[in-house]
Amino acid sequence: MKRCSTKKLEGRSIITEVAPDGEPIAPEAAAKKYIRQCGCLVRDHIAISFRLWKANNPSEQRDAVPEREKEWLWRELKKNFMVPAKSEEAAKRWTLSKMAEQLRTFKKNLTKNYINKGKTPEFTRDLAKQKDH
């Protein structure tokens, strides 16, 4: 399974333009790096045992990613990327939505590549952080 490197990003990238929905669009290289980093953060730091990204009612709260985890992801991403202040709230909404999508895709691929084939993944390297979950 292709995964990002776990190497910490160095320096800061500046996103100069954000679409109305919050998606970073310029400069293109920084926007692509931003999206890749979203995926890396969510795969490396959110346990696959969470069934939901967001709880729709109080009974689902235990199965959903806690808000403090989402805030932590946003703060980590902001350490390496600067978005225009006027677009920050839209960018945050879009980013968290993108991270939810990336987590679902990651879990779907794990299911397809391991559970559906009756295999057990080797919890080394890229999957080491998910072993307990």
pLDDT score of 127? 64
pLDDT score of 73? 97
pLDDT score of 72? 97
pLDDT score of 132? 60
Rounded-to-integer distance, Cα 94 and Cα 71, Å: 13
* Residue 110: both structure tokens together: 């794990």
Q: What is the pTM of this model?
A: 0.85
Bridge partners (DSSP) of residue 17 are 26
What DSSP state is assigned to residue 4? -
Residues of the chain with pLDDT under 50: 1, 5
Kindly list the domain boundaries of the chain, sorted by start residue: 13-130
